[in-house]
Amino acid sequence: MKLLFERSRTGRGQSLIPACDVPAVSFDPSLLRAEAPRLPEISEVDLGRHYTELAKQTHGVNDGFYPLGSCTMKYNPRIDEEMAALPGFTGIHPLQGEDTAQGCLEVLFRLEKLLCEITGMDGMTFQPAAGAHGEYTGLLLIRRYHQARGDAARTKILVPDSAHGTNPASAVMAGFSVVSIPSNAQGGVDLDALRAAVGPDTAGLMLTNPNTVGLFDPNILEITEIVHRAGGLCYYDGANLNAIMGHVRPGDMGFDCVHLNLHKTFSTPHGGGGPGSGPVGCKAFLEEYLPEPRIREENGAYRFCTPAHTMGRVRSFWGNFLVAVRALTYILTLGREGIPEASAGAVLNANYLMNKLKDSYDMSFDTICMHEFVMTLERLKHETGVSAMDVAKRLLDFGMHPPTMYFPLIVHEALMVEPTETESPETLDEAASVFLGILEEARTDPESLHSAPHSCPIGRPDEVTAARSPVLRYKFAQ
Partner 1 sequence: MGSYIPSTAEERQRMLEAIGLSSTEELYRDVPASARLKVLDIPEGMSEMEAAQAVGALADKNRRYRAIFRGAGAYDHYIPAIVKTVTSKEEFVTAYTPYQAEISQGVLQSIFEYQTQICELTGMDVSNASVYDGAVAAAEAVMMCQEHKRSGVVLPDTVDPQVLGVVRTYCESRSVPVTVLPTTGYALDADALKAALADNVACVYAQSPNFYGVLEDMDAITAIAHEAGAKVIMAANPISLGLLKTPGEYGADIAVGEGQPLGMPLSFGGPYLGFMACKAAMMRKLPGRIVGETVDKEGRRCFVLTLQAREQHIRREKASSNICSNEALCAMTASVYLAAMGPAGLKRAAENSAAHAHCLAGLLNAIPGFELKTAKPFFHEFVTACPVPPETLQKRLDDEGMLGGLPLDDGILWCCTEKNTRGQIERLAEICREVSRK
What is the sign of the dihedral through the CA atoms of 327, 332, 338 and 340?
positive
Q: Which listed residue (289, 321, 365, 373) binds partner 1 by CB under 8 A? A: 321
Candidates 172-180, 200-208, 225-233, 411-419; binding stretch for partner 1 (CB under 8 A) = 172-180
CB nearer partner 1, residue 229 or residue 443: 229
Q: What is the rounded CA–CA span in Å between residue 446 and residue 385?
A: 7
Give me the sign of the Cα torsion angle 80, 263, 296, 245. positive
Binder of partner 1 out of 150, 299, 461, 477 (CB under 8 A): 461
The one-letter code for the residue type at 59 is H
Contact call for residue 232 and partner 1 (CB under 8 A): no
Verify binding: residue 94, partner 1, rule CB under 8 A: yes
Q: Is 340 or 379 the residue whose CB approaches partner 1 more closely? A: 340
Window of 129-137, 228-236, 374-382, 440-448 that interacts with partner 1 by CB under 8 A: 129-137
Residue 428: how many other CB atoms lie within 10 Å: 20
Residues 137-156 that bind partner 1 (CB under 8 A): 140, 143
Whose Cβ is closer to partner 1: residue 381's or residue 407's? 407
- Residue 402 touching partner 1 (CB under 8 A): yes
Element (H, E) at 238: none
Q: What residues from 413 to 442 belong to the interface with partner 1 (CB under 8 A)?
A: 421-425
Min dist. Cβ of residue 211 to partner 1 (A): 11
Give yes or no for residue 122 binding partner 1 (CB under 8 A): no
Residue 446: CB minimum distance to partner 1, A: 17
Cβ-based nearer residue to partner 1, 199 or 340: 340
Per-residue b or e along 332-348, where b marks 16 or more CB atoms closer than 10 Å to that residue's CB: eebeeeebbebbbbbbe
Nearer to partner 1 (CB atom), residue 297 or residue 383 = 297
Cα–Cα distance between 371 and 369 in angstroms, integer?
7
- C-alpha 165/C-alpha 285 separation (Å) is 28
Least distance (Å) from partner 1 to the CB of residue 297?
Answer: 14
- Distance separating alpha carbons of residues 148 and 131, to the nearest angstrom: 26
Q: CA-CA distance, 14 to 326, in Å (whole number)?
A: 33
**How many chain residues are in contact with partner 1, going by CB under 8 A?**
194
Indicate the residue among 383 and 409 with the shorter CB distance to partner 1. Answer: 409
Pick the piece of the chain touching partner 1 (CB under 8 A) from 148-156, 191-199, 274-282, 442-450: 274-282
Question: Segment 289-318, which members bind partner 1 (CB under 8 A)?
Answer: 291, 311-318
Cβ 191 vs Cβ 223: under 8 Å: yes
Our finding on whether 171 is near partner 1 (CB under 8 A) is yes
Minimum distance, C-beta of residue 383 to partner 1, in the bound complex (Å): 25
Query: Site for partner 1 (CB under 8 A): which residue of 67, 107, 145, 194?
Result: 107
Please check whether residue 103 is in contact with residue 339, taking contact to mean a CB–CB distance below 8 angstroms: no
Site for partner 1 in 186-215 (CB under 8 A): 215
Q: In angstroms, give the least distance from the CB of 149 to partner 1.
A: 17
Contacts of 393 (CB under 8 A, 6+ apart): 402, 449, 452, 453, 460
Check: CB of residue 39 under 8 Å from CB of residue 33: no
21: buried, middle or exposed (CB in 10 Å: 19+, 13-18, 0-12)? exposed
Taking residue 241's Cβ as centre, other Cβ atoms within 10 Å add up to 28
Q: Tell me which residues in 29-58 interact with partner 1 (CB under 8 A).
A: 30-34, 36-42, 44, 47-48, 50-58
Which 3 state secondary structure label does DSSP give 374? Answer: strand
Q: Applying CB under 8 A, does 100 fall inside the site for partner 1? A: yes
Q: Does 95 bind partner 1 (CB under 8 A)?
A: yes
Q: Is residue 266 part of the contact set for partner 1 (CB under 8 A)?
A: no
Q: Classify residue 468 as exposed, middle or buried by CB count within 10 Å of its CB (0-12, 13-18, 19+).
A: exposed
